[in-house]
Each structure stands twice: as structure tokens, then as C-alpha cells.
Amino acid sequence: MASGDSDIGRLVHAVRRLINLQNAELSDEFFPAHLSVALIDAIFTPQLRYYTHVVRIIERYCARFSLRRVRSDRGRLPRVDEQETLTDLIDHYEDLGPNGFQDEIVRSRFRSPGTNILKSENVKRAAIELRGIGIETLQDAQCKSAHQIKCALRPLSGIGDRTIHMFLMYAGDDEFVKGDVHVCRFVATALHGRRVSAEEAERLVGSAARVLGIAPRLLDYEIWKHGAM
């Protein structure tokens, strides 16, 4: 057996032993009612506690602009005319101004990893870049390739592949995995403590998901949930 196949086998074994996939399902954040919500979520998630910080930011944003956070029907996207566009998000930021957005919505000065750029500023910058390639709604995001979205967002300082993968997952792409600390730790443990990069962890989780017959982003979420407990 090739070493890659052996690693996948070990990971599949660890998943079957430690995680109950029988009732596995994605949580609310994977079914946003608006692309703006998915973008805010993805950019604020790295390095912050999700339920105590990120969800509260999103809830304040949705309350301020009278938006639903989660769509009512998980099986289909909301109609385009029911969604806030990325242009709306940009307009909200500009109407409130950076200080207003910080004071009313964020209420902290969280910065993107390795930069002095506020995460809220990167929300606006990312929205502008995505709008520049024709993305305004959830439907638009699903019509673009992952490569196009990555090319639009990668040049932005403080927005790396983990954040982009999170955005793609929230926007509805089943094929992506986010190699965060929980995923990397789970994979490393399955491989008997061998050090793995985020990229390798993502590749192995994606391959294991296909062996297990589930979507990679669902396996990613179940591994994250297991690690966060």
C-alpha cells in the first residue's frame, strides 16, 4: 500500500472509531441567508472563539439591517431578490464609517492574522474584490469557480487560504476543508503524532471523506466539532 493510501486508511479508521457520522449534519452557519453573512463569518472566524465572538458580531449585523442570519429552507438558496448584495454590505460600511461599524457591529478591534488591518476593513475589501468579479449573491458565488474566488481574495493581506476555504464552505461548496488547528491535530493524532501541514490535512480529510461517502466539508465540520468539545 502506498504511503498516501496508508495515511488515508489510518485517518478513516480514526474517524470511524472516534466520530459518530450516523447523524452528521452541518450547523446553521453553513446555510446563510445572505452572502454578506457568509463573508463576515469567514473573515472573523480565524483566531476568535466562534460562539462567544463571531456569532454575536453576525447577530448584531443582522439585527442592525433587519436580516435573517440563516435561511429557512436548507435545501435551496433564497431568491436573489430576497438577499442582501455585497454592494449593500459595502454601502452599510461606508454609511456607518469605520468607527461606526466598529462601535455598533464589531465592538472590538480584531485584526487579521499577521497584519494591522482590522477584520472589519477586510470584510469591506473582500466584498469589493468579489463584486469586481461579478459576485453579489449566494447564487453568484456558486456560479464562479473556486479558482476565480481564490484569485480575487488571495492578494488581500490577512486573508489566506484557510479564510477563503471557510468562505467557500459557507457559500455552499461541499468539496472544501479548512485545515484549522482542530483538523490538523486530529489528522496528526491519526497518523501517530506525525506533523502535518494544513494543506496535507485538508487533502487527507478530503480523501477520507470520499472513502466514507460523505461531503468533505461535512467531515471537516464533524472533526472540528470533535476537537472543539
pLDDT tens across 192-223, in order?
988 999 999 999 999 999 999 999 999 999 99
Q: Tell me what the pLDDT averaged over the chain comes to.
A: 93
Q: Tell me, yes or no, if the pTM score tops 0.75.
A: yes
C-beta of residue 226 within 8 angstroms of C-beta of residue 24: no
* CATH number, domain 33-170, options 1.20.120, 3.40.50, 1.10.1060, 1.10.340: 1.10.340
pLDDT tens across 49-80, in order?
Answer: 888 899 999 999 999 999 999 999 998 999 99
Q: What residue spans in the chain does CATH classification 1.10.340 cover?
A: 33-170
Confidence of residue 36 (pLDDT cuts 50, 70, 90): very high
